Amino acid sequence: MEIYQIYSMTSAVLFVIGMGGVFMSKHFIKKIIATIIMGGGVFLAFVSFAQRDALSFADPVPHALVITGIVVAVASAAFALALARRIFQLTGEESFTNDK
């Protein structure tokens, strides 16, 4: 098995773990961490595809895309954490209730 295949498979596993976490957990922080794990999977997928058959060097485009993606993911995670913190301050709740 080639190295990039290991990376690709790991990325798929991470993506699925994250997706499952987002839908199945109720706690704010757990959900946010799950989206970050999902993001990690996606970025790993990009990087693992950088090894292309015709090239002897790594394709730079996926790396540029991943940098942008990471910036966006960090910003969204920070925003989500800020919201979660504010909700905790206002109401003391730390997870979604079932009624909605």
Partner 1 sequence: MTDLPTSPYPALLVGLPVMMAILSLFFRPRGKAFLGLIGCLLTAVLAIFAFVEVTQLGTVIHRLGGWEPPLGILLRMDALAAVFIGMTALVGALISLYAWRYFDAQDTSTDGFPLFWPLWLFLWAGLNGLFLSNDLFNLFVTLEVIGISAVALAVLSGKAGALVSGLRYLLAAITGSMSYLFGVALIYGSTGTLDLEMLGQVLEAGPATTFALLVMTLGLMIKMAGFPFHFWLPPAHSNSLAPVSALLSALVVKGAFYILLRLWMEVFGVSLTYAAGQLIGVAGAIAVIWGSWQAFMQTSLKLIVAHSSVAQLGYLLMVFPLLILPSGVSAASADWLSPAWTASVYQVLSHAFAKASFFLSAGIIVMAVGHDRIESLRDLVGHMRMTALAIGLAGVSLIGLPPSGGFMGKWMLLKGIFLSGQWWWAPVVLVGSLLTAGYIFMLLRLAFAPTGEKEPFQPVPKRLEVFALLLAVSSFLIVLPADYLIQFLEGSEVFGSGIETVLKGGAYGNN
Neighbours of 98 (CB within 10 A): 6
Q: Does position 61 bind partner 1 by CB under 8 A?
A: yes
The answer to whether the CB of 28 falls within 8 A of the CB of 94 is yes
**Cα(70)–Cα(42) distance, integer angstroms:** 10
In the set 7, 10, 33, 69, which binds partner 1 (CB under 8 A)?
Answer: 69
23: tokens are 């839908």
79 binding partner 1? (CB under 8 A):
yes
Sole binder of partner 1 in the list 73, 74, 94, 98 (CB under 8 A): 73
Does position 33 interact with partner 1 (CB under 8 A)? The reply is: no
Radius of gyration over every alpha carbon of the chain, rounded to an integer in angstroms = 17
The token duo for 69 is 């993606």
Residues that bind partner 1 (CB under 8 A): 15, 18-19, 22, 28, 31-32, 35, 38-39, 41-42, 45-46, 48-49, 52, 59, 61-62, 65, 68-69, 72-73, 75-77, 79-80, 83-84, 86-87, 90-91, 93, 96, 100
